[in-house]
Amino acid sequence: MSKKTIMLVCSAGMSTSLLVTKMQKAAEEKGLDADIFAVSASEADSHIENKDVNVLLLGPQVRFMKSQFEDKLTPKGIPVEIINMSDYGMMNGQNVLNQALNLIEEQE
Model confidence pTM above 0.85:
yes
Q: Note the pLDDT of residue 12.
A: 80
Distance (Å, whole) CA 108 – CA 106: 6
Domains and CATH numbers, the chain: 4-107 (3.40.50.2300)
Catalytic residue annotation: 10
Q: What is the mean pLDDT of each run of 10 residues along the chain (108 residues)?
A: 89 83 96 95 91 95 96 94 96 97 91
Q: Note the pLDDT of residue 107.
A: 83
- Contact by Cβ (8 Å): 8, 36: yes
Q: Note the pLDDT of residue 1.
A: 55
Give the CB-side neighbour count of residue 27, counting CA atoms within 13 A.
23
- What does residue 5 show for φ and ψ, rounded to 5 degrees? -110, 115
- Contact by Cβ (8 Å): 13, 43: yes
Ordered alpha helix ranges (H), 1-108: 15-30, 44-50, 66-73, 85-89, 93-107
